[in-house]
Every structure is written in structure tokens, then in C-alpha cells.
Amino acid sequence: MKAIDAIYERQSVRDYTAEKLDESTVFDLVNAAIHAPTAMDEEPWAFVIIQDKTLLNRMSDNAKKLMQSGFEANLTQGNKLQQEHFLVPEFNVFYNATTLIVICAKPVSDFVSADCWLATQNILLAATARKIGSCVIGLAVQILNTPKWKQELGIAEDMSVFVPIILGFPSKETSIKPRKPANILTWK
């Protein structure tokens, strides 16, 4: 697939088959990630890969508990709607995807976050080119940055989790979300 086609065909997938990505495919995606541009050649990224279903489910339950306490602390109308959506027992933060790649880094300079997000986009596009579905899971960032989970996942104390990405084979076709026209402020 051409890069430009992957850009236009990528979409967030939230329904997966039970088939796991094999090891070489995961390596392939991580290799795509580390070819992203990187400020001052820092290459700050490090990766955690989780394919253990029980662990993913436990993490999802924990993330929901954390969300619950956030909602309770700040029960606005919007939060109530979110609470109804996210806290139903069957909701899984990772949509039952079979693989989670977590991008971590030591936040040592201003552009570490940018590097991690560029690496993320490489994973999303490389996955699309291989007909693998993906979705960034911002909802899991907070839980993954707790000392308990960092320790369990082998993430050093001085590292931060920047991006969790779920991956797997889409179980159904979904349509690509349209975008608003580009807001070009100046073209001189």
C-alpha cells in the first residue's frame, strides 16, 4: 500500500477478532515506530508490548475504577453521560484488542512527546498498510502512569507513558470518519 493510501484509509478500530498478531508483525510495527523523525537524534522511545488477555482485562478494569473516582470527584452533566458510556460492565477500555503497544520515554526534553507521537503515527500507518486495525487509547494513559502499573510492566520510575495503542484484526468494516476542511489561516 502506498503511504498516501495508508494515510487516507487509517481509522480507529474498536472491534477486533480474537486472532493475535504474531511476533514478527509486532516487531515490524515497532521497527516502523523507531524510524520516525526524532528531535536531536534522541530516539527517546521505549516499548511495552502486552498480548496477555487477562492482564489487558485487569488493566481495563483498573482504568475504569480510576475513571469512576474522577467522575465522582467532578460530576458535571457531561461527566454523567461519559460515566454511563464508559462504566458499563461490558465496556473494555481496549475494546478486546489482542495487542497493546505502549510507548514510553524519559521526559528529558521538550520534544520527547512529539517524538513519541510521531512514532505512534508510524505504527498506525504501518498497521493500516498491513490491514491491521489500531486505535490510540488516551483513556489508559493515567492508569499506565501509576507506580503500580509502571512497576508491573517494567517501566522505570523516571519514564513516562505517552501513548497506548491497541492493535488487532478488525472484525467488521467501518466507514472512515470525514474531516472538516483544513483551516488555512494564511497563504501568502
Ligand X SMILES: Cc1cc2nc3c(=O)[nH]c(=O)nc-3n(C[C@H](O)[C@H](O)[C@H](O)COP(=O)(O)O)c2cc1C
Per-residue binding string, ligand X, 121-150, x by CB under 6 A, is --------------xxxxx-----------
Q: Could you give the CA distance from residue 146 to residue 12 in angstroms, rounded to a whole number?
A: 26
Q: Which is nearer to ligand X, 14 or 150 (CB)?
A: 14
Q: Which stretch binds ligand X (CB under 6 A): 9-17, 20-28, 42-50, 77-85?
A: 9-17
Q: Which is nearer to ligand X, 38 or 134 (CB)?
A: 134
118 binds ligand X (CB under 6 A): no
Per-residue binding string, ligand X, 13-52, x by CB under 6 A, is -x--------------------------------------
Q: Could you give the CA distance from residue 36 to residue 64 in angstroms, rounded to a whole number?
A: 32
Strand order of the β-sheet with 133-136 is: 45-50, 99-105, 160-168, 133-136
> Other CB atoms closer than 10 Å to residue 152's CB: what's the count?
14
Say if CB 66 and CB 142 are below 8 A apart: yes
> What contacts 129, CB < 8 A, 6 or more positions away?
1, 3, 6
Q: Please give the DSSP secondary-structure letter assigned to residue 98.
A: S
83 binds ligand X (CB under 6 A): no
| Minimum distance of ligand X from residue 24's CB (angstroms) | 26
| Minimum distance of ligand X from residue 33's CB (angstroms) | 15
Q: What is the DSSP string of 49-95?
A: EE--HHHHHHHHHHHHHHHHHHHHHT--HHHHHHHHHH-STT--TTT
Q: Which is nearer to ligand X, 136 or 167 (CB)?
A: 136
Cell numbers representing residue 133 in the block: 486495525
| Minimum distance of ligand X from residue 95's CB (angstroms) | 7
11 binds ligand X (CB under 6 A): yes
| Minimum distance of ligand X from residue 135's CB (angstroms) | 5
12 binds ligand X (CB under 6 A): yes
Residue ranges binding ligand X (CB under 6 A)? 11-12, 14, 135-139, 177
